[in-house]
A and B are shown apart, each in its own frame.
Chain A
Amino acid sequence: MRKNFKMQDLDCANCAAKMEEAIRKIDGVAYISISFMAQKMVIEADDSRFDEIMQQVAKAVRKVDKHCEVIL
């Protein structure tokens, strides 16, 4: 399933790249792209575990920048 999420307070372009890197390593994520300018994330992940994966994604995002939040 491919879904779009808005991201709040994504302040640095390099952080967006780091987040992508970290999310790509999460098991079950097939595709991830974060647009720093549009403050958006497109993610494709296993349908059955989507919610659980999104929890991990939110955690990975906060690890790079604690102010940044994925609006689930």
Chain B
Amino acid sequence: MTKKQKRSALRIALSVVLLAVCAVTAHFVQLPQWAVLLLFAVPYFVSGFPVLAEAAGNIVRGQIFDEKFLMALATVGAFVVGEYPEASFVMIFFQIGELFESMAVGKSRRAIADLMDIRPDRARTVCDGQINEVDPEEVQVGMYIQVLPGERVPLDGIVCEGSAALDTAALTGESLPREVGVGDAVISGCINTNGVLLLQVTKPYEESTVARILELVENAGIHKAKSEKFITRFAKYYTPCVCAAALLLAVLPPVVTGQANVWSVWSDWIYRAMIFLVISCPCALVISVPLSFFGGIGGAGAKGILIKGSEHLENIARCKTFVFDKTGTLTQGNFTVSDVLYADGFTEKDVLYYAATAEQHSSHPLAKAVCAESERIGESKNVHEKAGFGVSATVDGKLVFVGSEALLRENGIAVPDNNTSETAVFVAVEGRYAGCIALRDRVKEDAKQAIAELRSLGVKRICMLTGDREEAALRDAKELGIDEVYAQLLPQDKVEAAQKIRSAITDGSLLAFVGDGINDAPVLAAADVGFAMGAFGSDAAVEAADAVLMNDRLQSLVTAVAVSTKTTRIVKQNIVFALAVKFAVLLLSPLGFANMGIGIFADVGVCVLAVCNALRAMKIKS
């Protein structure tokens, strides 16, 4: 508890004791009316002093529909009609509610701060053998830093010396440590569990992974959800309306019934009007909605899912169509050779040898897979790479073409028709077709299950976009249980395909796109909810996406949908419950069926229950 909260708790405890003493005294000792009033004024002022003082201050500053003012008015009204204990009661409960609220909010703020406790406090720079401890913000790109076992990596960098297992749980929610060695990129925020690492810094602190994650999470509350905006708009009108109704309720019935000269009639209606004032404050609603979203975003963050705002968290649950990019998202993005076809006069090994030798310096994923498969790699000369098509080179004095079918045809080489349905690399030697190498990208192990789970969470339509050949795409789609496939797309066609899918949605639900951010940042931005998968590799993807999955597992997507569904359900429950109780009291009280106790429950009780319910959003099952 903070100092302020402690003071408030003490005040409440003291008031309760005083109120009990007064109630007992008034019960056993026959006192004149004025003495009873004075007696109950003691606990009232002890408990209500800060509220009354603030209410007075608010009137001076022109804030009349302030909750403190309304409470003051309601309790003074209760005094006027002779309900002395109830006035103190309302005041005490109001303060209990406030105290509880502030503790709950503080608790959830702290919990989320703990979850996001990845900020490094210092970096150890190494310069000419000298080691200095400095603030990470002072370290410049290109400098060397040392990270000892047990320490948090302060800045993004590349390993220059040493190897270690990194614990990335705080960033990715992944419990298995990641092994890194010389040449590997390391992101800030991981914890070095065993070895000593020397890193060369690649990004300044402000652009490092840690700084960007923190900024993203801290600003998440800024993008407000629809239900949040609805509730603040509602609150704006609710309070004045209820107050006006209270005024009418106090004045109209005695006047209309012609009993304006009977005090007991007046006091009865004033009492009913005071119940209106007690429930006129919309605090339960207004606080529980952002509290739920904040909890949901924080809980998801602990699982390695960064959601950029309440708005997006709310929208995820409304996505009934999921569109996936194939390579790197549904598949592992690592190709392996699945088959080698060869023409007469060549062997399987020949085809691999020529292809690997020609492509050995290429960074294309297909080239790397071919090189990994070939037993032998010779020397190549005159290598020319034509982006998107392939390479030409001289291998052992022979002119070799390696690449797409189009590359070979372009060079006047006939390619037989029925070769393979897979992604393939074609090889020609000395102007003659030599064979082709079929490659496969395996689907992720958890992909099938994740898609099935998405369906069980209510996702209706699952589509796949890919630049691959149709046959290969359809086979993967069948294996994974995907409904629609859009194959052989160029990167620029993907937005159009997503829009086409979007235009078929007629029920008002939304479209989510999941991609790894390579080539698909425009689609991420165009989708209702864009998920960037596999972390912080691409700045453009993180910028364009609405949610970032820090690990490569599709299971995170299921968690994100589950969190969103749960959070929006909690928000709905709170709104419906609070409104139902308040309106019930608004109906019952003019009829004389409600008392102050029920009014207090409708205000403080509902607030406490709504806040407790909202805190559930933070807890996420793995």
Task: Identify the A interface with B (CB < 8 A).
Answer: 4, 11-14, 17-18, 20-21, 33, 35-40, 42, 63-64, 66
Contacts and interface: CB of A to CB of B under 8 A. Distances in A.
Interface stretch (B287-295, B322-330, B383-391, B572-580): B287-295
B178 interface: no
A4 B283 contact: no
A12 B98 CA distance: 9
A64 B523 CA distance: 43
A37 B108 contact: yes
Interface in B316-348: none
A70 to B, nearest CB: 15
Nearest to A37: B294
Contact of A40 (B62, B221, B283): B221
Contact of B222 (A17, A35, A63, A64): A35
B510 interface: no
Contacts of B219: 4, 35, 38, 40, 42
Interface in B180-236: 218-224, 232, 235-236
B421 interface: no
A37 B67 contact: no
Contacts of B61: 63, 66
Contacts of A18: 63
A17 to B, nearest CB: 4
A44 B222 CA distance: 13
Nearest to A66: B57
Top 3 closest pairs, chain A to chain B, by CB? A35-B221, A37-B294, A17-B232
A13 B287 contact: yes
Nearest to A32: B222
Contacts of B48: none
Interface of B: 57, 61-63, 67, 102, 105, 108-109, 218-224, 232, 235-236, 281-283, 286-287, 290-291, 293-294
9 contacts: A11-B102, A12-B67, A14-B67, A14-B232, A21-B236, A33-B222, A36-B221, A37-B290, A40-B218
Contacts of B108: 37
A11 B4 CA distance: 11
A35 B222 CA distance: 5
A51 B108 CA distance: 33
A42 B235 CA distance: 22
A36 B221 CA distance: 8
A64 to B, nearest CB: 6
Given A33-B222, A35-B222, A36-B221, A13 B290 contact: yes
A58 to B, nearest CB: 14
A29 B183 CA distance: 49
For A12, A21, A33, the residue with the greatest tally of chain B CB atoms inside 10 Å of its CB is: A12
Contacts of B224: 33
B487 to A, nearest CB: 41
A36 B67 CA distance: 17
A12 B283 contact: yes
B372 to A, nearest CB: 48
A14 B222 CA distance: 15
Nearest to B293: A37
Contact of A12 (B218, B222, B223, B287): B287
A64 B294 CA distance: 23
A23 B533 CA distance: 38
A12 B234 CA distance: 16
A63 B109 contact: no
B221 A17 contact: no
Given A11-B102, A33-B224, A66-B61, A38 B286 contact: no
Contacts of A42: 219, 222
Contacts of B57: 66
A6 B287 CA distance: 19
Contact of B221 (A12, A21, A37, A64): A37
Nearest to A67: B54
B301 to A, nearest CB: 13
Nearest to B292: A37
Contacts of B62: 63
Contacts of B293: 37
B294 A17 contact: no
Contact of A38 (B218, B232, B282, B287): B218
A13 B221 contact: no
A17 B236 contact: yes
A63 B62 CA distance: 8
B77 to A, nearest CB: 22
B46 to A, nearest CB: 21
B283 A13 contact: yes
Nearest to A36: B290
A10 to B, nearest CB: 10
For B63, B281, B293, the residue with the greatest tally of chain A CB atoms inside 10 Å of its CB is: B63
B311 to A, nearest CB: 11
Nearest to A39: B109
A44 to B, nearest CB: 11
Contacts of A11: 102
A4 B236 CA distance: 25
A40 B222 contact: yes
A37 B291 CA distance: 7
A37 B110 CA distance: 11
B38 to A, nearest CB: 31
Contacts of A63: 61-63
Given A13-B287, A33-B223, A38-B222, 4 more contacts: A12-B283, A36-B287, A37-B109, A66-B57
